[in-house]
Structure 1
Amino acid sequence: MNKVLLIIQREYLTRVRKKSFIVMIFVVPLLILGMGGLITLVAKNSDKLSGEQVVNVIDDSGLFAAKLQSTKNIRFKPGGQSLEDLKLATKSDENLLILSIPADYAKKDNVKVFSKKKPSLLITDEIARQMNDIAVNNGMLQHHIDTAVLHSIKSNINVNGVEITDTGAKDANVGTNMGIGVACAILIYLSLFIYGAQVMRGVIEEKTSRIIEVIISSVKPFQLMLGKIIGVGLVGLTQFAAWIILSVISSKIAGHAFNSPQSPIASAMAILQTIPFGYILGCFLFYFLSGYLLYSALFAAVGSAVDSETETQQFMFPITLPLLFTYLLSVTVLFRSPDSTLAVWLSMIPFTSPVAMMIRIPFGVPGWQLALSMSLMVLGFLFTTYVAARIYRVGVLMYGKKVSFKELGKWFFYKE
């Protein structure tokens, strides 16, 4: 046990004493804050950044050209030329857009926007919206329906989610929970790759430099692998702890600096105070640690099986595919339906649950599902650590041989 502790100490101190580690502790929160401010600024000024697009309208139906309304980004004007002449003009002007509306515009895909480069969704969506509104109004007029009355009674209803708890009803903050879930899933996904890759690189470096031959003479391969995994994991926890502390301090400073209840920052902080951060943080740390232990053991096995980092790709893809698959689903599908059957199953499978469960936790997860998922995670990383250790003990002393999955299987069954 003392040898494992020495390896942990070496792996930990070697990394936390680096200038890059200390710098990143302070730089990352600033980068995230700056990125958030930049995104907000860009979103507010997106209309100005995109510029104005002139759309030449050729309307064979005679219903739309005079009724299309120009916006900040789109200016409609009559074509003035034939469609074929305008198409020829696009060869010399890549900003030229042509909206062609045939007489039978109602048929699918008959309305077209021609341009030398692909038109943006902003333009096509705005054109479709305006044309649908115009077509509906024309239809109502043909059926002698008073459009003015219909527009006057048109409502704009917003639905606000309210959660019923033991202490009473409270705002569900669906959007905030969604953002926190996606942010946690992205952070888990990135951290597992970053810190797992550090373990793999460390193994490859020691193996190629032949230092590992000296180390193995003093400790067992399993002790070395375990020490490297735990040491790098503690480095990750140290970074997260520092980032959390800095975030809390900055939020306190921001709260005092913007103490007006009408300010956007004060409003945002008031919403965040309703989120159970202790519960979410505890779950995040568990799934980071368990997911890290699961994947880093496999990364260590891959590092022991190759002689250089360029040879790792054939083994890395099958290992990381479940994590990548879940990440892509999380940021596109799962956050919209966190209690779906797919989300529940993905949050139970150890290879996918670190990402999938972090999407679900802000929305509330039944206790038995959380307990089962955590139990399976513990069993999962114990199993993968055992499998990786069987491969690692042979691979760290194997040089100059191209390794396949079949060969890894043989290593697993080698006797001590």
Structure 2
Amino acid sequence: MTERLFSDDGDGDRLPPPRFAYDRATWKEIAHLLANLPVSLVGFVYVVTVLLTGGVLALTVIGFPMLAGGLLGARQLGRLERARARKLLGVRIEEPSPLPRRSGFMPWLWMTLKDPVGWRTVLYEFIRLPWGVLTFTVTLISLFVLWPVLPFLARGLTSADRAMVRALLSPSDELERRIAELESDRGVVVDTAAADLRRIERDLHDGAQARLVNLAMGLGLAKEKLIEDPDAAATMVAEAHGEVKLALQELRDLARGIHPAVLTDRGLDAALSSVATRCTVPVKVTVDLVARPAAAIEGIAYFTVSELLQNISKHSGARAASVEVWRSADRLLVQVEDDGRGGARLADGTGMKGLADRLGAVDGLFALDSPVGGPTVVTAELPWRDRTEDQGAGSPP
């Protein structure tokens, strides 16, 4: 006895070669149908317990946290069901995106309670019990009574199983995955902005502010000595003048770290050339752009190159480096290369990892190729937005 089986790779109009009815795939389907009852019973009891317990205790402090924990458990049930369908039914389904990390209990609680993956798994387990009873009964009876037609019954019943798994246990669509990515990226942007603010505050407090305090004290002493000891007062004023120059230089450096004036006025070519002069190794800069990108994209490209050149100065041991910037279709590409010792990695806690996270937060890409012994090549890719669109939105020209 043979039969034809529709392909399970999404190409519904293509038929594979005929196969024997009682082959290995058929026995897997029969095993899946017989396992439906105990598996669906466990899932049904779990979700009913979670819903009842969370609902009853919703007015107490522990109600919503228990419900959130139950939804996380439902996610694990869904993972096990996808694994069972993959092994016994040949259904290949991508795992849903993990929940983004959140700092703080309340943000985590709210995000978990509105998790669509967890709620779809709850629905799946809730409706599976009657289906599990039906499929188990029909399959068990057919094993002893309807043996000749059992392969066809198994095929029809497992087709419904496949449909339920795809409908309720698959990632809902690309939008869900994209939302999860954007929520995670938003956290990266917020953390990066907070770190930048702390850095600016620290630089002001330890640098220019401290110098200005010393300057005020020095000028106060010079004022007191102006009449009784003009020479000492003149010396103090000269020292204060030196402090003013240093404070101004520190403020300029700080402003350059926030957003350099040369980038705003003259664009990436001039700004990157200026950064290259501060690198400890010779850097060749090539910028091939007919027009300037939006200010935000231009700023990200500038600071990416700036940090990469700092890494080259501090860690690479290179003798030469190069920076290339060009546009390809709707993407801005930046490539930084050095002939140093190599061995750079995108490990957690490194500057490279931070750059990759920042680029990912704006739909960018970060590629690192750094074999031991060098050379190191970093390619950054950013979405291109025209500067006129950015100006229309009220950004700096």
Same fold at TM > 0.5: no
TM value normalised by structure 2: 0.22
Q: Tell which has more relative contact order, 1 or 2 (C-alpha 8 A, sep 6+).
A: 1
